[in-house]
A and B are shown apart, each in its own frame.
Chain A
Amino acid sequence: GIQVEQSPPDLILQEGANSTLRCNFSDSVNNLQWFHQNPWGQLINLFYIPSGTKQNGRLSATTVATERYSLLYISSSQTTDSGVYFCAGFKAAGNKLTFGGGTRVLVKP
């Protein structure tokens, strides 16, 4: 199966700062999702982005499929952005999402 690596593993931000999270895949994927897991364990879908760029409020994501990576941008971070951000993907055959290890983000007031 594919391997998914996320960096950095931990990130501490001052409220209002911008940041970039990275996700690398060992092989090409045709499904790529970003999630935010809140402190209570709920995984919230952020983006479905197998390629291209999408924006949703202060969050945006870019996937460069040919180079097997995706980036998640957080702008003007807020304390509510704290939590763990996961990327996950699968190849064309089947629907088995493989998750990265996550980036734990703490936004300080």
Chain B
Amino acid sequence: ETGVTQTPRHLVMGMTNKKSLKCEQHLGHNAMYWYKQSAKKPLELMFVYNFKEQTENNSVPSRFSPECPNSSHLFLHLHTLQPEDSALYLCASSQEGKGTQYFGAGTRLSVL
């Protein structure tokens, strides 16, 4: 248990569906992150939120829409995804500027 919880753990969706991934951290951190891990590729940073404000968007397509209502919760809203978006999506949190990031167990997404 890392203190970062992601739901759902698995998700299968069609290209016309809308779904959301949820992340919650119980560590009192003020920075949260979304990463994408595709097969045979390094983890790619997607978004960074510091104190609920988005400070990084790593050229992510608009079909991925993050939301951070408070420092403990982070969502990733998905719509009109493509099959190549199938991947493991990982959430992490840290104390801003103090480095150590703690990861959730991930949501394994399949887009049909």
Contact = CB atoms under 8 A, between A and B. Distances in A.
Contacts, number: 57
Nearest to B103: A43
B31 A95 contact: yes
A42 B105 contact: yes
A97 B101 contact: yes
Interface of A, secondary structure class, is strand
Contacts of B42: 4, 86, 99-102
B88 A41 contact: yes
Interface of B, secondary structure class, is strand
A41 B43 contact: no
Contacts of A12: none
Interface residues of B, number: 25
Interface stretch (B11-19, B66-74, B78-86, B91-99): B91-99
A95 B94 contact: yes
A40 to B, nearest CB: 7
A75 interface: no
A94 B99 CA distance: 9
A95 B106 CA distance: 20
B90 interface: yes
Contacts of A48: 99-100
Interface string B18-57: 0000000000000101000100011101001010000010
Interface of B: 2, 31, 33, 37, 41-43, 45, 48, 50, 56, 88, 90, 92, 94, 96-97, 99-103, 105-106, 108
Q: Which 10 A-B pairs have the closest CB atoms?
A: A43-B103, A31-B99, A99-B43, A41-B106, A48-B100, A42-B105, A99-B42, A101-B42, A41-B88, A96-B45
